[in-house]
């Protein structure tokens, strides 16, 4: 059974940067917390906990030491409040997310009605919405658009891990309904490359395996895209989730991993699949 890895797969620069900042913080301070999970990868978060880096559910849980802002970003008011408490704030927001923040803020300041294409309860989207003044409309697809579009001058910003197809769908639905439409394509280039190479590989193999946190938006998107072209697509976090029956009769298996998936996790899954063959 041949195992082939997608050309672009696994941990991205933004995640590597966040992990590096966290480890450096742990070396410099005995009291370090992240505001929410640093990245959406439970295994990586558990490894950080072994270094003494705990996860805080809210700012109220942190009274001293170092507070790390997760890669997904936050409401700028939270950073200000943390600094007011005297905390040493380390901002590990992914640079691509920061770009989305800037776009959302500029659209709001220029008095566009802001629409965010993304997952309503995702922390990244919550941060983008805060930078857009808090009143932005959040949609996951064109079907979520209301009958009455909020304004004739509309600005669109997109969650960095969304697919280009999803963004294009929403934009196409808006075009005939507004007088002016400004679109900020804030999809991360690393995400776009991973999505394209994963889809290409999924079309050519018998089975496709996507590795990464089940709570990871970018990994779930990869699984969704691969599943659209290969029905034998499976999303796993760890080797323990692999089922030998998935590979019955398969001569080729494709593997990809989300941008929040460290390389060792993908390599472990590849080794386990190869052992089954």
What residues are annotated to the active site? 124
Rounded-to-integer distance, Cα 157 and Cα 130, Å: 13
Phi and psi torsions of 180, nearest 5°: -140, 130
Rounded-to-integer distance, Cα 120 and Cα 113, Å: 17
Q: Which of 77, 12, 73, 22 is nearest to 52 (CA)?
A: 22
- Cα-based distances in Å from 220 to 57, 119, 179, 252: 23, 12, 34, 22
Q: How many residues does the chain have?
A: 277
Please provide the distance, in angstroms rounded to a whole number, between the alpha carbons at the two ends of the chain. 5
């Amino acid at each position: 059974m041949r195992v082939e890895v997608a050309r672009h797969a696994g941990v991205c620069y933004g995640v590597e940067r966040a992990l590096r900042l966290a480890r450096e913080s742990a070396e410099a301070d005995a009291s370090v917390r992240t505001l929410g999970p640093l990245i959406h990868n439970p295994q990586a978060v558990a490894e950080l906990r072994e270094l003494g880096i705990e996860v805080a559910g809210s700012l109220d849980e942190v009274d001293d030491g170092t507070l790390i802002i997760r890669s997904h970003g936050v409401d700028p008011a939270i950073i200000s409040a943390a600094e007011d408490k005297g905390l040493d704030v380390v901002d590990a927001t992914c640079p691509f997310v920061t770009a989305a923040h800037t776009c959302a803020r500029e659209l709001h300041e220029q008095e566009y009605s802001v629409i965010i294409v993304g997952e309503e309860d995702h922390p990244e989207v919550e941060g983008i919405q805060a930078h857009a003044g808090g009143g932005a409309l959040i949609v996951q697809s064109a079907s979520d658009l209301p009958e009455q579009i909020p304004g004739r001058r509309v600005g669109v910003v997109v969650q960095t891990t969304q697919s280009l197809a999803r963004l294009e769908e929403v934009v196409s639905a808006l075009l005939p309904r507004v007088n002016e439409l400004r679109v900020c394509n804030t999809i991360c280039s690393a995400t776009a490359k991973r999505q394209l190479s994963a889809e290409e590989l999924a079309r050519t193999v018998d089975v496709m395996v996507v590795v990464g946190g089940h709570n990871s938006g970018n990994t779930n998107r990869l699984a969704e895209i691969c599943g659209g072209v290969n029905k034998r697509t499976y999303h796993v976090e760890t080797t323990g989730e692999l089922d030998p029956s998935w590979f019955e009769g398969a001569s080729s298996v494709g593997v990809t991993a989300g941008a929040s998936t460290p390389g060792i996790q993908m390599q472990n899954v590849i080794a386990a699949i190869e052992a089954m063959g």
